[in-house]
Amino acid sequence: MRNRSHCGRKAVIRLAMTAIVLSLMTVLPSYACTEVYVGPEVSADGTVIIARSNDWQQIMATRLCVTARVEHAPGRTMPVNDAGDVRADIPETTFHYTSTPWMTNSTDRMNIERDAAVCANEYGVSMTMSVTAFSNDRALAADPLLTDGLTEDTADDLVICQSRTAREAVDILLGLVDTYGSNGVNIATIADQKEAWYIEIYTGHQYAAVKLPPDKVAAFGNEFCMEYLSAFEESVTSEDLLTLPEEKGFAKYGENGELNLYETYSGDEMREEYSHMRTWIGHQLLAPSVYGDYDQSEFYPLLFDPDRKVSLSDVFSIMRNRFEGTPYSPDETGRIDMRVIGTDTALSVHVLQIYPDLPAKMSVITWESLAPAVYGVFVPLSNLCTEVSEPYGADQPDSAGQSFDTAHYAWYALKCLNTIGILEPKVYGEPVADYWKQAEEGMMSAVPAVLKTIAGLLETDPEYAASGMTNYCNYLQQNAFADAQSMLNTDLWFLNFNSNTLKLARNPETNELTGEERVLPPVPITLSPKAYYTVFSMADGADGP
């Protein structure tokens, strides 16, 4: 393993940083993701919030998963590359953790071992990887990506199963890059109750990790936004990160003589509206007093101050944003050239909420939207949970082939709701979104009280507490699946009822054409969100509501 350099705020740094999986040597198409970070000092409730969309134009059915702790089992390995024929040793004891992997019929079809997408373990360590970014040709030529190197699909499981702290997880991730190289250019975020780290992997072996400040926010699409290491109190870099650019003649320095990571490894030449507009809207939504209209030439920094405290609901809204109220909204303008945050190509969208004052083993709630979030719902999964509800946790086998099964799997039902909603948002999408918003308001109001109750029982009866937390999360997931099926049936009924290529309205009495275009009303959603507001009492038993 290489010796990694540790840099302090006052050190004079020369660093190169940035990277991407241009189609060089990558097995899969580049993903197109968006991420948001909210430090605990600027969040509305003092929690750390980290959100990421996992986007790809594919049918890759996704589920929630709990992996159990394994004690004293030597000789085990986990995959490093997507094919799984390069493997890394793991410790004899690995930890309990939650994740959001693809189903077996999806991974087998694509010849991928697994993509955990987001993980949170029993020590309260969480990780999400990756937001793909773009490095310039000079950086990639100087240190190429490796076909069988570490991938974004394998990293989360491999790191989180063996990490007791965020700092340890950073070292494990970077050590894997040192040993095996990287298959792609990725951005990862790792956090626990004490600190959060942001990692950029630029080329085959070059990377930089920085500890994020608690009083800032970040929002970015598929692009690098970090310039100088000296802006951070603590950082970890690859051994050659600072020297490689100068040796190969592509280094760019700032006025203070410090290497500008963005300019060196990526730069304006790699800037595309596809990514840059999502970075802009994240900045504009969180700090409208500073960031106004979109400017393609403007550099939007990684970290900035929000105008006000940021709530969990605010982050949900950002992850659903489709440039509403701007000239770039595909829904309001009919434009077909806009890449929004709230895309209907999301495979899943997750929001990690980390509580600093709870026991570590129940400190992380993963709010997960299986399939796209724009007309989907975020449901909670605690890192204390021991299992997942059947519709959210069931793994469709490879023998199912390409069966689009909305009857048994939450992902398919939610994916279908989104697809129909995108077709005619005002008719089929907005009524669904309005209902899910009510459901989420109920869960966000109830979850803190449930966590307080469970925390009070954890020390005296940990199994009982874990059972209660599991059943509560499963109850909400099952409700969401039942409601998704009901609304999908409603959408399909009205979609078929209204199917007619004749778009002109008719006089209901004479049946004559009026010459006016038919305007369909929003579909009626008659469900009640009452169940999502439920706060059960453990005195009534751990079975929950």
> How many residues are present in the chain?
545
CA atoms within 13 A on the CB side of 284: 16
Task: Say what the pLDDT of residue 255 is.
Answer: 80
Q: Which residues are CB-contacts of 526 (< 8 A; sequence separation ≥ 6)?
A: none
DSSP state of 94: B
Say whether pLDDT at 23 is over 60. no
- The Cα 310–Cα 38 span in angstroms is 7
Say whether pLDDT at 464 is over 60. yes
Name the band, by pLDDT with cuts 50, 70 and 90, for residue 544: low
In sequence order, the β-bridge partners of residue 513 are 506
Say whether pLDDT at 115 is over 60. yes
- Stretch 72-97: mean pLDDT: 96
In sequence order, the β-bridge partners of residue 8 are 234
With pLDDT > 70 as the criterion, what percentage of the chain qualifies? 92
Name the band, by pLDDT with cuts 50, 70 and 90, for residue 537: low
Q: Which residues are CB-contacts of 418 (< 8 A; sequence separation ≥ 6)?
A: 344, 371, 372, 374, 375, 376
pLDDT digits (tens, 9 = 90+) for 126-139: 999 989 999 999 99
pLDDT digits (tens, 9 = 90+) for 34-76: 999 999 999 999 999 999 999 999 999 999 999 999 999 999 9
- Residues 492/396, Cβ–Cβ less than 8 Å: no
Between 26-30, 43-47, 168-172, 335-339, the lowest mean confidence (pLDDT) is in 26-30
Pairing status of strand 87-89 against strand 126-132: unpaired
Task: Say what the pLDDT of residue 13 is.
Answer: 27
DSSP state of 523: P
- The Cα 372–Cα 178 span in angstroms is 35
- Mutual angle of helices 430-458 and 462-497, in 10-degree steps: 170
pTM of the model: 0.93
- Residues 195/105, Cβ–Cβ less than 8 Å: no
Q: Which residues of 361-394 are buried (b: 16+ CB within 10 A; e: fewer)?
A: bbbbbbbbbbbbbbbbbbbbbbbbbebbbebbbb
pLDDT digits (tens, 9 = 90+) for 146-183: 999 999 999 999 999 999 999 999 999 999 999 999 99
Task: Say what the pLDDT of residue 48 is.
Answer: 98
- Residues 368/378, Cβ–Cβ less than 8 Å: yes
- Stretch 258-264: mean pLDDT: 97
474 to each of 49, 390, 451, 479, how far by Cα in Å?
22, 8, 15, 8
Task: Say what the pLDDT of residue 31 is.
Answer: 59
pLDDT digits (tens, 9 = 90+) for 399-437: 998 899 999 999 999 999 999 999 999 999 999 999 999
With pLDDT > 90 as the criterion, what percentage of the chain qualifies? 86
- The Cα 43–Cα 314 span in angstroms is 10
Average per-residue pLDDT for the chain: 92
Name the band, by pLDDT with cuts 50, 70 and 90, for residue 25: very low
Task: Say what the pLDDT of residue 508 is.
Answer: 86
Say whether pLDDT at 110 is over 90. no
Q: Which residues are CB-contacts of 378 (< 8 A; sequence separation ≥ 6)?
A: 316, 349, 351, 367, 368, 369, 440, 443
Q: What is the DSSP string of 469-486?
A: HHHHHHHHHHHHHHHHHH
Say whether pLDDT at 518 is over 60. yes
pLDDT digits (tens, 9 = 90+) for 300-317: 999 999 999 999 999 999
pLDDT digits (tens, 9 = 90+) for 181-240: 999 999 999 999 999 999 999 999 999 999 999 999 999 999 999 999 999 999 999 999
Task: Say what the pLDDT of residue 190 is.
Answer: 98
Q: Indicate the domain borders of the chain.
A: 5-368, 375-394+404-545
Name the band, by pLDDT with cuts 50, 70 and 90, for residue 111: confident
And the tokens for 150? 């570490």
- Residues 38/368, Cβ–Cβ less than 8 Å: no
The domain 5-368: what is its CATH number? Answer: 3.60.60.10
List strand residue ranges (DSSP E) for 39-122, in order: 48-55, 65-67, 77-79, 87-89, 97-99, 118-121
And the tokens for 464? 């009982």
Fill in the amino acid letter for 2: R
Between 21-25, 29-33, 272-276, 323-327, the lowest mean confidence (pLDDT) is in 21-25
- Residues 249/208, Cβ–Cβ less than 8 Å: no
∠264-270-276 over CA atoms, to 5°?
115
Name the band, by pLDDT with cuts 50, 70 and 90, for residue 527: very high
Say whether pLDDT at 11 is over 50. no
- The Cα 455–Cα 532 span in angstroms is 21
Q: Supply the Cα-derived Rg of the chain in whole angstroms.
A: 24
Residue found by looking up tokens 């999408």 in the block: 429
Task: Say what the pLDDT of residue 511 is.
Answer: 86
Fill in the amino acid letter for 501: T
Pairing status of strand 217-220 against strand 207-211: unpaired
- Stretch 490-510: mean pLDDT: 91
And the tokens for 207? 């990377």
434 to each of 49, 440, 473, 529, how far by Cα in Å?
23, 10, 22, 11
Fill in the amino acid letter for 271: R
- Stretch 279-285: mean pLDDT: 98
- The Cα 145–Cα 334 span in angstroms is 39
And the tokens for 497? 């009822």
Q: What is the DSSP string of 327-375?
A: TT-HHHH--SS---SS-TTEEEEEEEEE-TTS-GGG-EEEEEEES-STT
Fill in the amino acid letter for 230: S
